Amino acid sequence: TGSRVVVSRSFADFTPQATFSIKKCDLHLLEEGPPLEAELTRDQGLQYYRTMQTVRRMELKADQLYKQKIIRGFCHLYDGQEACAAGIEAAIGPSDHLITAYRAHGYTFTRGVSVREILAELTGRKGGVAKGKGGSMHMYAPHFYGGNGIVGAQVPLGAGIALACQYQGNHQVCVTLYGDGAANQGQIFEAYNMAALWKLPCIFICENNKYGMGTSVERAAASTEYYKRGDYIPGRGVDGMDVLCVREATKFAADHCRAGKGPIIMELQTYRYHGHSMSDPGVSYRTREEIQEVRTKSDPISMLKERMLSNNMASAEEFKELDVDIRKEVEEAAQFATSDPEPPLDELCNHIFSNNPPLEVRGTTPWSRLTSVS
């Protein structure tokens, strides 16, 4: 049996809190932006590390299960973009709302769904978060409205959720995420207009990972300054690879919305290591060297770890132990996701209608009566 390394240093040896300089945001229609310094406690740092590393490991496991043909269909992975999800969640509360597109596994996890339920959903098993019947595009949790499959369609829905927050007067905000590819969708501008007219508490966030499917932003957009796209809505361009930058920018945005100033736009400049989806090797329209350079110079997990180590906020052994725990959790989740049974056939028609099936329409004769037991 392998013996565990006993760390002799006590917690008192570590720096409990440190202040870091962060990159200035690009501003649009704003006098000032988020602060240029961010405080980080040791506990927060370890929590952000655990979150990002778990998402990273989970996505690499999904990649493996896909290549083994255990996960089928569409599968869009989030590795590389972890600082966006971890930073946003660190700045809003669990009662705030979040809606995103199909690259949704990271947010499903940060919104409180276990790795086990996420992987089981991807493998189509009944222990999945949507009972194995939805995959990436139908993962839900309290105040989380799923990964949506239609490009950009979640943005008007997010504005609608923000309208509900305003109507109920509950001081909540809705974080509405979309990618650089979806940023050229007409419905996004319609949603901007309504949100600005009604001063909705909506944070519109463009996760710009530089490529919409296989097309670079420069080839797809006449203006790549997505934070200015709201025109009459204030915006900020944010370093999406730094969890502290994302956290501070999101805090600023949430305060703006809660103060009744209406919507705000954020562009998180980030990067995905995988292709657009598992069917895209991701190296035909960009070089392996480009991906490697981002991994080396601005990986969100490595950056946080370096910050903490160089400021004596944690030890290398602690990070190793965290990594071992996370690998174990992901391995056990994968075990469950490959052994849990698929949903039985008689469940096929459940959860189709929220109450009773719609009225019969004259001239249509269904072959069989579908009954919903949800």
Strand 235-239 relative to strand 144-148, pairing: unpaired
Token pair for 322: 């965290």
Q: What is the pTM of this model?
A: 0.92
Q: Which helix (H) or strand (E) holds 196?
A: helix 186-197
Q: Which whole number is the average pLDDT over 211-229?
A: 97
Token pair for 188: 């996004």
Are 118 and 174 members of one domain? yes
What confidence tens digit (pLDDT) does each residue in 269-290 have? 999 999 999 999 999 999 999 9
Q: What is the CATH number of the domain that holds 288?
A: 3.40.50.970
SS3 269: strand
Distance of alpha carbon 156 from the chain centroid = 18
Are 367 and 328 members of one domain? no
> What pLDDT does residue 27 have?
98
> What pLDDT does residue 355 have?
67
> What pLDDT does residue 5 have?
46
Query: Is 369 a domain residue?
Result: yes
- Alpha helix segments (H runs only) across 68-137: 82-91, 105-110, 115-122
Query: Is 64 a domain residue?
Result: yes
Q: Which whole number is the average pLDDT over 323-348?
A: 95
What confidence tens digit (pLDDT) does each residue in 225-258 have? 999 999 999 999 999 999 999 999 999 999 999 9
Strand 264-269 relative to strand 235-239, pairing: parallel
Q: Which whole number is the average pLDDT over 204-214?
A: 97
Nearest Cα neighbor of 145 from 97, 77, 177 is 97
Contact partners, residue 215, CB within 8 Å, separation at least 6: 181, 285
Are 239 and 361 members of one domain? no
**With pLDDT > 70 as the criterion, what percentage of the chain qualifies?**
91
Strand locations in the chain (E): 17-21, 26-28, 37-41, 97-101, 144-148, 174-179, 202-208, 211-212, 215-216, 235-239, 264-269
What confidence tens digit (pLDDT) does each residue in 291-301 have? 999 999 999 99
| Contact present, 254 and 171 (Cβ < 8 Å) | no
Query: Is 283 a domain residue?
Result: yes
- Look at residue 366 and tell me whether its pLDDT is greater than 90: no
Are 286 and 328 members of one domain? yes
- Look at residue 98 and tell me whether its pLDDT is greater than 60: yes
Give me the half-sphere count of Cα atoms (radius 13 Å) on the Cβ side of residue 113: 29
Torsion of CA 217, 223, 224, 228, to 10 degrees: -150
Mean pLDDT of the chain: 93
> What pLDDT does residue 348 have?
79
Range of the domain at 368: 345-373
- Look at residue 368 and tell me whether its pLDDT is greater than 60: no
What confidence tens digit (pLDDT) does each residue in 40-83 have? 999 999 999 999 999 999 999 999 999 999 999 999 999 999 99
Domain count within the chain: 2
SS3 286: coil
Q: Using pLDDT thresholds of 50, 70 and 90, give the confidence band for residue 10.
A: low
Are 349 and 309 members of one domain? no
What confidence tens digit (pLDDT) does each residue in 253-273 have? 999 999 999 999 999 999 999
What confidence tens digit (pLDDT) does each residue in 339-362 have? 999 999 888 778 776 666 666 666
- Look at residue 6 and tell me whether its pLDDT is greater than 50: no
Query: Is 4 a domain residue?
Result: no
Are 355 and 297 members of one domain? no
Are 265 and 360 members of one domain? no
